[in-house]
Amino acid sequence: MTTLAPVAASRKVPVTILTGFLGAGKTTLLNRILRERHGERIAVIENEFGEQGIDNDLIIDSGAEQIVEMNNGCICCTVRGDLVRILGELRQRRESKPEAFDRVIIETTGLADPGPVAQTFFIDEDISAYYAIDAILTVVDAKHASEQLDAFHEAQEQVGFADRILLSKTDLVSSDELTDLRARLVRINARAPMKPVHFGETPIADIINVGGFSLDSILEIEPGFLDEEDHHEHNDDVKSFAFTSSRPLDAARLQAFFRDTIAEHARDLMRYKGVVEFAGFDHSVVFQGVHMMMASDAGRIWSEGEVRESRLVFIGRNLPKDALLARLERCVAS
């Protein structure tokens, strides 16, 4: 392997690791960053859990100079080598075209432990020579965080490694519930400033160029941080599957599908999202949901001659994949 020459620390490309459990609002926050007039060109690396990616379709059209998708596994384990490769390719692109981008944002899958992701920037010489972590931002879903912290080691790690904690969906919980959650988050991580974030709206100074990452602080909470083998495996009960259709769907049938599926499987339906073509609509429709909470919004208008496709991704525990896919097939418009 050819070792590339290091650059001065002050000139290293800053990297923001954006993490948070499934459905917390990471992509919403990313869109907020990309919309802001901060004058920086951003390369975005997207990691999704499962074979089908959908988040790239949910990112706004303007703002990101590069968007790279990483599917078929979690960035903190099975596709971690891809992260090293992509960062290397981005470096080569920027060295041949310095104006290509100024910083990198990595949006991890909701099931990622941010520790091994951050570890990459210290144990790989070529990566550490060119990139430096600016901060780990963790979005915490106030509505579902308590249950997630109880059930998933990854949710605890996301909070523990955070340099900034952003609380989403605070309007959906009582003041007492929010107070209890804040106290629990402080017990896990007392060093990270904590602020509410409503649909991604938060001061840009709190999330960009914060210089919040401290290796010493990480080593205090995770002494084995620099050990490549120090990584916990994911809960095997959590799996993903996707539904795609090149034919338009019937709006009433899909609404009935979601109503029945949520009623039957809400607790185990951890995350579902997608972009759909409905018969008779001139625009796409975006669906996003977490457990019992689901929302849909009008997407972009279909371009003339564009190949239209509906894609829905589901992540959950012990979901009846074949039965749900069969139900979705019945949602195809006649």
pLDDT for 115-135, tens place per residue? Answer: 888 888 888 889 989 999 999
Specify the pLDDT at position 292: 86
Domain spans in the chain, listed from the N-terminal domain onward: 11-221, 238-329
Specify the pLDDT at position 224: 63
Spatial CA neighbour of 233 closest among 94, 79, 78? 78
Specify the pLDDT at position 236: 54
Rounded distance, CA 179 to CA 181, Å? 5
Rounded distance, CA 319 to CA 325, Å? 11
Specify the pLDDT at position 252: 94
Specify the pLDDT at position 140: 97
Q: What is the CATH number of domain 11-221?
A: 3.40.50.300
Residue 35 token pair: 């919309």
Q: What is the CATH number of domain 238-329?
A: 3.30.1220.10
Specify the pLDDT at position 139: 96
Long-range interactions of 230-233: CB distance < 8 A, separation 24+: 230/115, 231/76, 231/77, 231/113, 231/115, 231/116, 232/113, 232/153, 232/154, 232/157, 233/77
Specify the pLDDT at position 76: 46
* Residue stretches of the chain with pLDDT short of 50: 1-8, 51-55, 58-64, 72-78, 230-231
CB 183 within 8 A of CB 175: no
pLDDT in tens, 224-259: 666 655 445 555 567 778 899 999 999 999 999 999
Average model confidence (pLDDT) across the chain? 83
CA distances from 324 to 86, 147, 223, 307 (A): 35, 25, 43, 25
Spatial CA neighbour of 194 closest among 227, 159, 155, 226? 159
Within 10 A of 180 (CB to CB), how many other CB atoms are there? 13
Record the pTM.
0.74
Specify the pLDDT at position 227: 63
